[in-house]
Chains A and B, each alone.
Chain A
């Protein structure tokens, strides 16, 4: 017994859960969507992914060094932010915009608040919205999917949501694409942000996360449920003007947002009740922006706005503690 003993306060065993494990699992869950994105959008997608991921890791390492903080890149959160940022950009975005996005996400979205755990807003979404407002042209120049094998050069195309918004505002009627092509939307064969197109892959990843208990079902279910129900009500009222809820579900960044962006633990409520409210708020804002707002897509704005009220939700949703009822009685 020459070695010194360890003394600590109880408990003395640990579940083995770690922050980096959580981050790693989320990255695994994003793999199917990543692979499909590369399949559909080819090399530009790959390079955007690499620039964002490496950029985020690099900027985080740099800021830790400058702020004389211990390095934190090993926890995987910077890499995850990078992938999520890339997922939210048009696949063939100029490299410097992607890099600027990485800097915005890490420096302005996260490190400036004190790093992981202290940022009020989802860093990847902060970057996306900053880029969307600063570079509206580049950020909405979408490419049509051109599967690697097909050998076709990338051509520009609109997203289904963008197309719908334009047509509806011009004619007051839904375009044809709102009622057909659902199979393409489901697999991801449409124009859109790099990682948002394939509902199938995102759904797989999301269910994996719920199965692994990395995220709970509350936010995705209440987010998607709200969109379906409210979208459905509008559709029933006027199917000629408002698209079906399934169209809402499969297009745009809804699934990506519901499973991966809104569930970001740092910026979402901590209680189940709070998560349900948060998801509802995200869903409501998304549908309002999509149907009546200036932008065709509202997921990012909805989540960011709800991020802002997260502290308020947390404050109102304190669970009822054991024994409190009896005391009041």
Chain B
């Protein structure tokens, strides 16, 4: 196999054996669906239902507010029992609609699909936006925005991200194996929207079954499947573009600046549903895994399902949980409680026990240079972190701190256990704050 890759990065134990062999299973509805208005990057949606309303599955609960925003929909039919701030995966209470499902799970009958061949590009984009489609890899950036590059940008390549380089996660892997028709249909729709031919699906070589399956399925559709070296962060947008096309996104720029749009394979499947069936994004596949889970699984989850309910479907906990992580172990967010709902960006739920954590205190930097050799952007993390500790904003900016993609390689490898990414994130905040002030 001709494996492509990027320079830098590392290879943490992928720990995908927990759930890679488990077929996607539908998670039953919980007693309460907690659907936050903010589930994407950009302005939170504006809630347009009230307590007591009966809603159908797929009905809009909150309307998009501005261009970089998408609406939020009911993920099952039932009654709105509360509209109030609830604990959000971001760690604080944020406005949410709470639905008590009636068990019928009835779709809103006004939702109808269409044949993408017959539709104008603008109409397709509108359907994608109205369906609330966001980047399903975890970044949750509204898809219609990515599909609307300014006129002067020449886009010639669509890259589909099936890399799933985060350890533990297998949701995209299972999706590629089990739902390839939806993915391919979504790719064809995206190609039409972007008016281009070249589409490349990038998949890490640790998923040979998915590579084989998609290669066969894609032959008839002129879609290329590119096997990639198992190297974290192969699935980061910039690294994936470099690996697949040899192009580099200019520092401070976007993929469209080098003629590329990147979409997650899960997003493609959701796009297909949105157009063909008219169905909004109300469910997603999430990997529930980790040494703290009795029976790790890949679950098809209704948006708004509390994490505790997901765990219950997986046989519960093996011991006291010490860390609850939404997303993967390299870039996921730790959670305050299992009452938090799964949202559109929830690619996984990862439970670690105390013995699975590395609790070493940070020591002094011994200048071993490992962080520099693994940085996929070729920054000097330890230098930036040193400036961050001294709040030297301008010097950190000069070291290109803003180019950091926060992949976590430097912190992972650091023998002194320094929280390098966190320091860099901290000073990036400082740089942005200073920029706003001036």
Q: Do chains A and B touch in the complex (CB under 8 A)?
A: yes
Chain A interface (Cβ < 8 Å from any Cβ of B): 1-3, 5-19, 21-22, 75, 77, 114-118, 216, 265-272, 318-327
Interchain CB contact under 8 A, B323 and A322 = no
Q: How far is the CB of B378 from chain A (nearest CB, A)?
A: 4
Q: Which of B336, B363, B369 contacts A5 (CB 8 A)?
A: B336
Q: How far is the CB of B342 from chain A (nearest CB, A)?
A: 18
Q: How far is the CB of B358 from chain A (nearest CB, A)?
A: 4
Interchain CB contact under 8 A, A326 and B248 = yes
Q: Can you name the residue of chain B whose Cβ is closest to the Cβ of A274?
A: B369
Given A13-B358, A322-B248, A324-B251, A3 contacting B320 (CB threshold 8 A): yes
Interchain CB contact under 8 A, A321 and B378 = yes
Judged by a CB distance under 8 angstroms, whether B411 is at the interface is yes
Q: How far is the CB of A30 from chain B (nearest CB, A)?
A: 17
Chain B contact-residue range equals: 35 or more
Q: Can you name the residue of chain A whose Cβ is closest to the Cβ of B409?
A: A11
Interchain CB contact under 8 A, B322 and A6 = yes
Q: CB-CB contacts of B239-251 with A at 8 A, as 1s and 0s?
A: 0001000011111
Judged by a CB distance under 8 angstroms, whether B217 is at the interface is no
Q: Give the one of B329, B334, B364, B400 with max A CB within 10 A.
A: B364
Q: Which residues of the partner chain A approach B413 to less than 8 Å between Cβ atoms?
A: 15, 17
A-B complex: 6 closest residue pairs judged by Cβ atoms: A11-B408, A117-B364, A270-B369, A14-B358, A9-B422, A323-B251
Q: Can you name the residue of chain A whose Cβ is closest to the Cβ of B323?
A: A6
Interchain CB contact under 8 A, B367 and A18 = no
Interchain CB contact under 8 A, A266 and B376 = no
Interchain CB contact under 8 A, A322 and B369 = no
Interchain CB contact under 8 A, A322 and B357 = no
State A75–B365 Cα separation when bound (angstroms). Answer: 12
16 CB < 8 A contacts A-B:
A3-B322, A8-B419, A9-B422, A10-B406, A11-B330, A12-B330, A12-B357, A13-B167, A13-B412, A15-B10, A15-B412, A18-B360, A320-B378, A323-B377, A324-B251, A327-B250
Interchain CB contact under 8 A, A17 and B331 = no
Q: Which residues of the partner chain A approach B257 to less than 8 Å between Cβ atoms?
A: 326
Q: Which residues of the partner chain B approach A22 to less than 8 Å between Cβ atoms?
A: 366, 368, 415
Q: Can you name the residue of chain A whose Cβ is closest to the Cβ of B168?
A: A13
State A110–B403 Cα separation when bound (angstroms). Answer: 34
State A117–B372 Cα separation when bound (angstroms). Answer: 16
Q: Which residues of the partner chain B approach A16 to less than 8 Å between Cβ atoms?
A: 358
Interchain CB contact under 8 A, A12 and B352 = yes
Q: Can you name the residue of chain A whose Cβ is closest to the Cβ of B166?
A: A11
State A327–B411 Cα separation when bound (angstroms). Answer: 28
Judged by a CB distance under 8 angstroms, whether B97 is at the interface is no
State A323–B404 Cα separation when bound (angstroms). Answer: 12
State A7–B352 Cα separation when bound (angstroms). Answer: 12
Given A6-B334, A12-B334, A326 contacting B369 (CB threshold 8 A): no
